[in-house]
Amino acid sequence: MTMLDQRHEEKLSAAAGVPDALAEWVAAIAAHTRPDRVVWWTGTPAEVSTLQDELVAEGKLIRLNPELRPESFLARSTPDDVARVESRTFICSESPADAGPTNNWREPAGMRAELSARFAGCMRGRTLYVVPFSMGPVGGPLSRVGVQLTDSGYAVLSMEIMTRTGAAVIAEIAGGADWVRAIHSVGAPLLPGDEDVAWPCNPDKYIVQFPETREIWSFGSGYGGNALLAKKCFALRIASVQGRDEGWLAEHMLLMRLISPEGRAFHIAGAFPSACGKTNLAMLRPDLPGWRVETLGDDIAWLRPGADGRLWAINPEAGFFGVAPGTSAKTNRAAIEMLASHTIFTNVALTAEGDVWWEGLTDTPPAGLTDWRGNAWDADAGTPAAHPNARFTVAAERCPTAAEDIGEAVPVDAILFGGRRADTVPLVTEARGWEHGVYLGATIASETTAAAEGATGVVRRDPFAMLPFCGYHVADHWAHWLSIGRGLDAELAPRMYRVNWFRRDTERGFLWPGFTENARVLAWIAGRIAGEAEANETAIGAVPLASDIAAEGVSAERLSQLLTVDPVEWRYEVEREAEFFGGVGGRLPVELSAQLAEARIRIARAFG
């Protein structure tokens, strides 16, 4: 018996107690995709280290220098597989109207036929891993389970970090828990005589969600949200539909606990598009004496109204899949400490000593770098050493600012809606109430980033930062937010804020230092919640007094620019919002057309 076969046998026995429906599904997928072997993953440390060794031996992972970066690895993808592929992401609801105007809809039966052809024999020569996982603590009141089948060992190790895996999940399924079926293949079968490559993938990619049957089929990519199906595909696209049907919300949000010098805790959720600083904000170490942040999550929050009239939230993930470039001791010291060991890096640069580097980590790049493509890096060539969407994958418990109760539900006091806007949007504005807050969420716009394929720096509407992640009609999502609000106690419901750390001055770049200084904005928000901080009313919501957010090195002139509501910009902005709402069709909630009408009137009145 080879070691692999032996491992296979062990996993099969570990999987004893597998309910018939799960065993039959795995058998059916295996019969169709024809892997050489099927391995039931339970997530023991021995399994992890065996798989790491295998991937190193196959050239799919590079073990980093254990003296400098213990228990850590580097993976390099191919240049055509570096980000989410929104143009190949499909929502296959029965009715196109349920997917709405912002999703790529495909008719389910037709898509199933297409996928069936792609998946036929696609795992030949490879191992099919069965990875049962829980989003949220296994058995927790807001938790959900799923099973990912994948032929990527890299995806397995990443899922092991990002979710809770293991036999306890199988017991949940055996106990009757609903489970999401998630099937992933890199789409690169190995025929006899074929040589494997470091990053198998397929130029033809499919990221497919079937919301009604709670199924995910992903083909052709090994990267991030395309391949770790628990993340965007399940915890956002499928879970948003589960939430719509069951009265909760699955949102693209960080989650943090801000603690004041007096020891009062404020729980803050924040929706920002990909690569707009959620991870940095969630791990903030405030520059303000006495204030502290505990990290609860950096990407996804599931929110549910409680019997007490408050909105409760969990982070369903168990790890962080964060953007490496720009992460430094200045921008996110906690992350730098967290990445000291036990991390899988993807598409960063490799140093001559066998450690990692990326743009922004240090001011000067070390000599002798190998770039993310595996070539000697030429500092003068003008190309970055790390890919702009290079990532780290690391367990949440490694984070020095992680809350002890990470994974448990917390009552939300404030919700932030943010994006990257060079102009127009002030540093922070407070919503007048829930409906105005939903309007702020629905009208988020942000410059595109390297987290998705396509051009970067283009302003697009990204409602609730869910444009690529909402599994149903975008306007129904807003209606659902409105209905969740009606179920909350008006006094205890979260307050809502629009924030923008990225406003620019044409000559001097960013007006606001950001990062640790963002604590000043959070402290003002906490002050508002506590009924202590003052505000100036503007046409678009309340803004802080400049003195309340004054940061060292930010002149009075810059503070006033940061808080300015510019008449020309806002007359233009509100018409862009109107255009966007116009494109959403007849499902636009009346509350939001009323908000838009009110915004127009307020802007006209304020500026004449």
Binding-site residue ranges for GTP? 275-280, 391, 420, 515-518
DSSP string, 66-88: TTTSTT-EEE---TT-SSB-GGG
Q: How many CB atoms lie within 10 A of CB 368?
A: 11
**Residues 6+ positions from 57 with CB-CB distance below 8 Å:** none
Q: Which is nearer to ligand SAT, 38 or 300 (CB)?
A: 300
Whose tokens are 């924030």? That residue is 499
Q: Which is nearer to ligand SAT, 268 or 276 (CB)?
A: 276
Rounded to a whole number of angstroms, the minimum distance from the CB of residue 273 to ligand SAT is 8
**Residues 6+ positions from 530 with CB-CB distance below 8 Å:** 260, 264
Rounded to a whole number of angstroms, the minimum distance from the CB of residue 452 to ligand SAT is 6
How many Cα atoms are found within 13 Å in the side-chain-facing hemisphere of 393?
A: 23
How distant is the alpha carbon of residue 297 from its chain centre? 10
Q: Which is nearer to ligand SAT, 199 or 266 (CB)?
A: 199
Residue 276 among the catalytic residues:
yes
231 binds, among Mn ion, ligand SAT, none (CB under 5 to 8 A by kind): ligand SAT
Both tokens of 89, joined, read 């992401």
C-alpha distances in angstroms, 18 versus 134, 157, 174, 375, 432?
Answer: 16, 22, 7, 46, 52
Q: Which is nearer to ligand SAT, 267 or 391 (CB)?
A: 391
State the Cα torsion 510-512-513-514 to the nearest 10°: -110
Amino acid at 524: W
The conformation of residue 450, written as its DSSP 8-state character, comes to T
Give the annotated binding-site residues for Mn(2+): 232, 252, 299
Point out which span in 270-278, 328-336, 513-521, 542-550 binds Mn ion (CB under 5 A).
Answer: 270-278
84 binds, among Mn ion, ligand SAT, none (CB under 5 to 8 A by kind): ligand SAT
Inter-residue contact 273 to 502 (CB < 8 Å): no
**Residues 6+ positions from 262 with CB-CB distance below 8 Å:** none
Burial 332-358 (b: 16+ CB within 10 A, else e): bbbbbebbeebbbbbbbbbbeebbbbb
Q: Which is nearer to Mn ion, 274 or 401 (CB)?
A: 274
Contact track, Mn ion, 399-418, x by CB under 5 A: --------------------
Rounded to a whole number of angstroms, the minimum distance from the CB of residue 274 to ligand SAT is 3
Give the annotated binding-site residues: 84, 223-225, 232, 252, 274-280, 299, 389-391, 420, 515-518
Q: For 13-87, where are the E strands, in sequence order? A: 37-40, 62-63, 73-75
Rounded to a whole number of angstroms, the minimum distance from the CB of residue 482 to Mn ion is 24
Alpha-carbon span 356 to 16, nearest angstrom? 41
Rounded to a whole number of angstroms, the minimum distance from the CB of residue 442 to Mn ion is 19
Q: Which is nearer to Mn ion, 253 or 403 (CB)?
A: 253
How many Cα atoms are found within 13 Å in the side-chain-facing hemisphere of 103?
A: 30
Alpha-carbon span 484 to 482, nearest angstrom? 6
225 binds, among ligand SAT, Mn ion, none (CB under 5 to 8 A by kind): ligand SAT
Inter-residue contact 339 to 287 (CB < 8 Å): no
Both tokens of 467, joined, read 């444009």
Rounded to a whole number of angstroms, the minimum distance from the CB of residue 451 to ligand SAT is 4
Catalytic: which of 92, 201, 233, 276?
Answer: 276
549 binds, among ligand SAT, Mn ion, none (CB under 5 to 8 A by kind): none
Alpha-carbon span 104 to 188, nearest angstrom? 25
Q: Which is nearer to Mn ion, 151 or 299 (CB)?
A: 299
Which residue among 209, 226, 274, 538 contacts Mn ion (CB under 5 A)?
274
Q: Which is nearer to ligand SAT, 127 or 185 (CB)?
A: 185
How many Cα atoms are found within 13 Å in the side-chain-facing hemisphere of 469?
A: 31
Rounded to a whole number of angstroms, the minimum distance from the CB of residue 446 to Mn ion is 12
Residue 514 zone, left/alpha/beta (φ > 0; ψ -120 to 50; rest): left
Amino acid at 121: G
Whose tokens are 């709402």? That residue is 581
Q: Does 240 bind Mn ion (CB under 5 A)?
A: no
Which residue among 215, 299, 317, 355 contacts Mn ion (CB under 5 A)?
299
Whose tokens are 């307020």? That residue is 602
Q: Which residues bind ligand SAT (CB under 6 A)?
A: 84, 224-225, 231-232, 274, 321, 451
Residue 301 zone, left/alpha/beta (φ > 0; ψ -120 to 50; rest): beta
Alpha-carbon span 61 to 52, nearest angstrom? 8
Q: For 324-376, where are the E strands, in sequence order? A: 343-346, 349-350, 356-357
Q: Which is nearer to ligand SAT, 84 or 144 (CB)?
A: 84
Q: Which is nearer to ligand SAT, 295 or 538 (CB)?
A: 295
Rounded to a whole number of angstroms, the minimum distance from the CB of residue 297 to ligand SAT is 13
Rounded to a whole number of angstroms, the minimum distance from the CB of residue 538 to ligand SAT is 31
Q: How many CB atoms lie within 10 A of CB 543?
A: 22
321 binds, among Mn ion, ligand SAT, none (CB under 5 to 8 A by kind): ligand SAT
Give the annotated binding-site residues for substrate: 84, 223-225, 274, 389-391
Rounded to a whole number of angstroms, the minimum distance from the CB of residue 321 to ligand SAT is 5
Which residues are bridge partners to 430 per DSSP?
A: 497, 542
Inter-residue contact 479 to 105 (CB < 8 Å): no
Residues of the shown chain interacting with Mn ion in the complex, contacts defined by CB under 5 A:
274, 299
Catalytic positions:
276
